[in-house]
Structure 1
Amino acid sequence: MKKLTTDGQRIVNEDGAQVILNGVNLVCKDKAKGYVDPCGEELFKWFHEQGFNVVRLGLIWDGVEPEPGVYDNEYLGKIKQQILWAEQNDIYVFLDMHQDLYSLLYGDGAPEWATLSDGLPHVVGQIWSDAYLESPAVNRSLDHFWDNTPVSDGIGLQDHYAAMWKHAAAFFADCTNIIGYDMMNEPYPGSSGQEVFGAIIAAYATTVMGMTEVNMEQLSALWFDEEKKQEVLVGMADMDIYRVLVDSAKEASQVFEREVLAPFFNKTAAAIRSVDTDGFLMLETSYFANMAVESGLELVHNEERAVVHHQVYVPHGYDLVVDTEHYEIYNQDRVDLIYSTHRKVQERLNIPTLIGEWGAFTNHPATLELSKALIAIFEQYLWSNTYWCWCDGFKESPYSIALNRAYPQETGGVLIGYHYDYDTDIINVDYVPTGGETLIYHPHAALLSKEDVVISGANAHACEIELRPFPSSEGGIVSIIAPQDDIGITVTVGEHQ
Structure 2
Amino acid sequence: MTALRIDGPWFKDERGRTLMLRGVNLGGSSKVPFSPDGATHNGDRFFNHRDVSFVGRPFPLEEADEHFTRLRAWGFNFLRLLVTWEAIEHAGPGMYDEAYLEYIRAIVEKAAEHGITLFIDPHQDVWSRFSGGDGAPGWTFEVVGFDITKFKETGAAIVHQTHGDPFPRMIWPTNSGKLAAATMFSLFFGGNDFAPETKVEGVPVQDYLQHHYIEAMVQVAKKLSGLTNVIGYDTMNEPLPGYIGIEDLNAPGGIVKLGSSPSPFQSMLLGSGIAQNVGTWKLGITGERKVDTQLVNSSGVNAWLPDRECVWRCNGVWDLDANGQPTILRPHHFTKVRGRRIDFSDDYYRPFANRYAKAIRSVSPDAIIFIENEPRHVSMKWGAQDAPNIVFAPHWYDGFVLFMKSFRSTLAVDFRTGKVIFGSKRIRRSFADQVASFKQTSKESFGGVPTLIGEFGIPFDLKGRRAYRTGDYRDQIRAMDRSMRAIEDNLLSYTLWNYTADNTNARGDQWNDEDLSIFSRDQQTDPTDIHSGGRALAAVVRPYPRAVAGEPLRMAFDIKKKTFFFEFHHDPAIEAPTEIFVPNYQYPEGYTVEVSDGSYETDLVTQTFM
Q: Per the shorter chain, which TM-score range?
A: 0.7 to 0.9
Is the 1:17–1:413 contact (alpha carbons within 8 Å) kept by the matching residues of 2? yes
What's the offset of the Cα at 1:432? 1.8
What's the offset of the Cα at 1:339? 2.3
Give the aligned partner of residue 403 of structure 1: 540
- Richer in helix (by share): 1
Q: Gapped runs of 5+ residues in structure 1?
A: 205-215, 236-250, 480-497
Query: Using the alignment, how far apart are the partners of 1:26 and 1:65 within structure 2?
Result: 20
Correspondence list, 1:296-445, <5 A: 296-299=379-382, 306-321=385-400, 322-328=402-408, 331=412, 333-334=414-415, 336=431, 338-348=434-444, 349=446, 350-364=448-462, 365=473, 366-391=475-500, 392=503, 394-395=518-519, 396=533, 398-434=535-571, 435=574, 436-444=576-584
Query: Do residues 2 (structure 1) and 9 (structure 2) align?
Result: no
Greater CA deviation, 82-91 or 317-326? 317-326
What's the offset of the Cα at 1:119? 2.9
What's the offset of the Cα at 1:416? 1.3
Change (3 A) 1:153 1:324: farther
Query: Using the alignment, how far apart are the partners of 1:437 and 1:56 within structure 2?
Result: 27
Change (3 A) 1:200 1:190: closer
Q: Deviations over 1:377-407 (max 9, x none)?
A: 1112111111111132633465333110000
Give the aligned partner of residue 488 of structure 1: none
Q: Deviations over 1:36-69 (max 9, x none)?
A: 1224211011000000111111011011123222
Change (3 A) 1:375 1:199: farther
Please give the secondary structure, in 2, of the residue aligned with 1:229: strand
Please give the secondary structure, in 2, of the residue aligned with 1:175: coil
What's the offset of the Cα at 1:367? 2.4
Give the aligned partner of residue 209 of structure 1: none
Q: Deviations over 1:165-189 (max 9, x none)?
A: 2221121112111111111000010
Tell me which of 275, 279, 284 is aligned to 1:230.
284
Give the aligned partner of residue 262 of structure 1: 350
Correspondence list, 1:30-429, <5 A: 30-33=32-35, 34-35=53-54, 36-38=57-59, 39-66=63-90, 67-106=92-131, 107-115=133-141, 116=143, 118-119=145-146, 121=151, 122-124=156-158, 126=168, 127-133=171-177, 135-146=178-189, 147=191, 151-152=200-201, 154=203, 156-192=208-244, 194-195=246-247, 224-225=280-281, 228-230=282-284, 232-233=286-287, 255-287=343-375, 289=376, 294-299=377-382, 306-321=385-400, 322-328=402-408, 331=412, 333-334=414-415, 336=431, 338-348=434-444, 349=446, 350-364=448-462, 365=473, 366-391=475-500, 392=503, 394-395=518-519, 396=533, 398-429=535-566
Runs of 4+ residues over 6 Å off in structure 1: 196-201, 251-254
Please give the secondary structure, in 2, of the residue aligned with 1:389: strand
Is the 1:145–1:157 contact (alpha carbons within 8 Å) kept by the matching residues of 2? yes
Q: Which has the larger radius of gyration?
A: 2
Change (3 A) 1:332 1:177: same
Is the 2:398–2:458 contact (alpha carbons within 8 Å) kept by the matching residues of 1? no
Please give the secondary structure, in 2, of the residue aligned with 1:16: coil
Query: Using the alignment, how far apart are the partners of 1:320 and 1:387 within structure 2?
Result: 15
User: What amino acid is aligned across from residue 181 of structure 2 in structure 1?
Assistant: V
Change (3 A) 1:82 1:150: farther
Query: Using the alignment, how far apart are the partners of 1:274 and 1:177 within structure 2?
Result: 18
Please give the secondary structure, in 1, of the residue aligned with 2:435: helix
What's the offset of the Cα at 1:200? 10
Query: Using the alignment, how far apart are the partners of 2:201 and 2:556 within structure 1?
Result: 55
**% same residue:** 26
What's the offset of the Cα at 1:117? 5.1
Give the aligned partner of residue 239 of structure 1: none
Query: Using the alignment, how far apart are the partners of 1:317 and 1:375 within structure 2?
Result: 11
User: What amino acid is aligned across from residue 208 of structure 2 in structure 1?
Assistant: G
What's the offset of the Cα at 1:192? 2.7
Query: Using the alignment, how far apart are the partners of 1:367 and 1:199 within structure 2?
Result: 37
Is the 2:458–2:479 contact (alpha carbons within 8 Å) kept by the matching residues of 1? no
Please give the secondary structure, in 2, of the residue aligned with 1:316: coil
What's the offset of the Cα at 1:234? 8.5
Query: Using the alignment, how far apart are the partners of 1:400 and 1:199 within structure 2?
Result: 44
What's the offset of the Cα at 1:161? 1.6
Greater CA deviation, 252-261 or 135-144? 252-261
Query: Using the alignment, how far apart are the partners of 2:287 and 2:435 within structure 1?
Result: 19
Change (3 A) 1:195 1:132: farther
Q: Deviations over 1:68-102 (max 9, x none)?
A: 22222210221222212221112111100001121
Query: Using the alignment, how far apart are the partners of 2:94 and 2:558 within structure 1?
Result: 52
User: What amino acid is aligned across from residue 454 of structure 2 in structure 1?
Assistant: G
Change (3 A) 1:437 1:372: same
Query: Using the alignment, how far apart are the partners of 1:37 and 1:198 within structure 2?
Result: 41
Change (3 A) 1:199 1:54: farther
What's the offset of the Cα at 1:195? 4.5
Aligned length: 429
User: What amino acid is aligned across from residue 297 of structure 1 in structure 2?
Assistant: M
* TM-score normalised to structure 1 length: 0.78
- Pairwise CA RMSD: 3.3
Greater CA deviation, 93-102 or 75-84? 75-84
Query: Using the alignment, how far apart are the partners of 1:105 and 1:231 within structure 2?
Result: 30
User: What amino acid is aligned across from residue 356 of structure 2 in structure 1?
Assistant: T
Query: Using the alignment, how far apart are the partners of 1:344 and 1:310 within structure 2?
Result: 18
Q: Gapped runs of 5+ residues in structure 2?
A: 36-52, 160-167, 193-197, 257-264, 267-276, 290-334, 416-429, 463-472, 505-517, 520-532
Change (3 A) 1:72 1:234: closer
Is the 1:22–1:384 contact (alpha carbons within 8 Å) kept by the matching residues of 2? yes
* TM-score normalised to structure 2 length: 0.64
Query: Using the alignment, how far apart are the partners of 1:477 and 1:96 within structure 2?
Result: 29
Is the 2:538–2:559 contact (alpha carbons within 8 Å) kept by the matching residues of 1? no
Please give the secondary structure, in 2, of the residue aligned with 1:416: strand
What's the offset of the Cα at 1:341? 2.9
Query: Using the alignment, how far apart are the partners of 1:171 and 1:342 within structure 2?
Result: 33
Is the 2:372–2:378 contact (alpha carbons within 8 Å) kept by the matching residues of 1? no
Is the 1:98–1:108 contact (alpha carbons within 8 Å) kept by the matching residues of 2? yes
Give the aligned partner of residue 478 of structure 1: 609
Is the 1:254–1:297 contact (alpha carbons within 8 Å) kept by the matching residues of 2? no
